[in-house]
Amino acid sequence: MKNILFISPTGTLDNGAELSIIQLMALLQEKGYRIINVVQDGASQFRSDYEKEMSSRGITLYSISLAKWWWPEAPGGIINDMETATLEYQNAIFRIKDIIHEEKIDLVISNTVNVFLGAIAASLTNTPHYWLIHEFPEDEFSYYKEKIPFVVEMSNAIFTVDGNLKEVWQKLVPDKEIQGFIPYTRVTPKKKLSQGEKTRLVSIGRINERKNQLALLKAYHQLDRQDIELCFIGPWDDEYKNLCDEYIQKNSLTNVQFLGYQNNPWDLVTDKDICVFPSKTETFGLVYIEAVLNGIPVIASDNLGHKTVQQLFELPTLYPATEITQLKQQIEDSLEVFEEKKVEAIAYQSHVLKRYVPEVAYQNIVAQIEHGDSQANQSMQAIEFLLTGLTRKTKLEILGRKLSHFLTRIRQRME
């Protein structure tokens, strides 16, 4: 039996990358693999639910304390003291290395391009490493374009979300085979949605710039139908939520609700609702699929991730993400012919349920684990590349000192 170590990006249940790969963990467990998981130590309001999820599945969970878990240039916090941060990264790498030894790990899997420490630890221990990519190299994640040579060199196999992202990556690294997977979310469609009194517009997902809820507020303002409730379900980034609040106040929108994080948001959705997803960027769009699986009429933007979902499952046409007026028009049309849209949504629900199963979604990853080359990638050049990347903005004397110290420790550990 193989022991597989996952390096997870957030240790929370509020994002698609975590939710979907928990389903991969479950599938591998069913096939007899033992799963171990490593996350950054932290006390977020969502960590407790994540820990309970891991415990309920019998997954061993390790937490490592450091200021930033992702690449220094990645979103999610600014590093002010690069020398201290580099030491923390080094200590985290060696802690993961110890876990690999203690748990007799046969394979390390990094879930998202943002986490990189497991790739280094795998190289140091001569352990195979797979990288799962969920993000397009654009906007907030454009920083990782310069990391691609490192990702390629440190991976026995690279998997990206199928469709548009896979095509992008294959063009970026034409000499490396890129395999695809479909993020799977285990949604058991409610046998019967709660009965609603009237139609609402509902948007589920984190309130932030990428999810683009301001566009929906602007379309709602143009719609001029304040008898229709607009309901947002999900946690938020404070700065972006403030922008939404300011827009609502400035334009006297009185029927907008923010319900915050919900463990099961679909419990709050009724049979009279329309789901609207105006994201600027998505890699796939799990909440889009969840809405379809629940038989709810959906209006979604045409970002590349939504296009992937739309094409894979032959779903209705998307609206241009930058066109507020077209979003407003689709909402207006859907309200006018809601009963027809509901019948159509039920038909799509049945269609997708037959095709969206974990065995198909993760078949390439499972096949690689079961039959792929198990030869590890040991790369001193990649490790030097990493350290140079981490410290290139520091003084040259710090770079030289840290590089010498780090490589000495590596050689000692490998002897």
pLDDT, averaged in runs of 10, over the chain (415 residues): 91 86 94 96 79 94 93 86 85 94 96 94 92 91 92 94 91 94 78 87 94 97 95 95 97 96 90 95 86 94 90 89 94 95 92 86 94 66 52 44 59 61
CA distance 96 to 112: 17
Domain limits for position 345: 201-356
Residue 404 falls inside a structural domain: yes
pLDDT at 397 (0 to 100): 45
Q: Are residues 49 and 178 in the same domain?
A: yes
361: closest CA among 411, 400, 308? 308
Q: Are residues 304 and 379 in the same domain?
A: no
CA distance 288 to 205: 10
CA distance 151 to 368: 18
Q: Are residues 214 and 343 in the same domain?
A: yes
Q: Are residues 285 and 322 in the same domain?
A: yes
For residue 92, the Cα-to-chain-centroid distance in whole angstroms is: 22
Kindly provide the residue ranges of all beta strands, DSSP E only, lying in 30-111, ordered along the sequence. Answer: 34-40, 60-64, 107-111
- Which pairs count as long-range contacts for 76-80, CB under 8 Å and 24+ apart, including other chains? 76/114
pLDDT tens digit sequence for 370-386 = 987 666 665 555 555 45
pLDDT at 122 (0 to 100): 93
Residue 191 falls inside a structural domain: no
Q: Are residues 300 and 249 in the same domain?
A: yes
CA distance 381 to 373: 22
Residue 195 falls inside a structural domain: no
Q: Pick from 356, 373, 388: which residue ends a domain?
A: 356
Q: Are residues 154 and 263 in the same domain?
A: no
pLDDT tens digit sequence for 287-337 = 999 999 999 999 999 998 899 889 888 898 899 988 999 999 999 999 999
Q: To 5 degrees, how large is the angle CA 277–CA 23–CA 69?
A: 80
Q: Are residues 24 and 61 in the same domain?
A: yes
Q: Are residues 179 and 219 in the same domain?
A: no
pLDDT at 388 (0 to 100): 53
310: closest CA among 170, 163, 160, 169? 163
Residue 193 falls inside a structural domain: no
Q: Find where tokens 């350290």 sit.
A: 387
Q: Are residues 223 and 315 in the same domain?
A: yes
Q: Are residues 16 and 130 in the same domain?
A: yes
pLDDT at 363 (0 to 100): 94
pLDDT at 78 (0 to 100): 80
> Are the C-beta atoms of 333 and 317 separated by less than 8 Å?
no
Residue 192 falls inside a structural domain: no
Q: Are residues 339 and 364 in the same domain?
A: no
pLDDT at 387 (0 to 100): 55
CA distance 298 to 280: 16
> Are the C-beta atoms of 216 and 327 separated by less than 8 Å?
yes
Two tokens, residue 154 = 């440190």
Residue 76 falls inside a structural domain: yes
CATH number at residue 222: 3.40.50.2000
Q: Pick from 338, 356, 374: which residue ends a domain?
A: 356
Overall domain count for the chain: 2
Taking the model in full, what pTM does it have? Answer: 0.74
3-class secondary structure, 368 = helix
Q: Are residues 299 and 233 in the same domain?
A: yes
Residue 37 falls inside a structural domain: yes
Q: Pick from 306, 333, 356: which residue ends a domain?
A: 356
Name the DSSP class of 320: P
Residue 335 falls inside a structural domain: yes
pLDDT at 371 (0 to 100): 87
pLDDT at 407 (0 to 100): 62
* Total residue length of the chain: 415
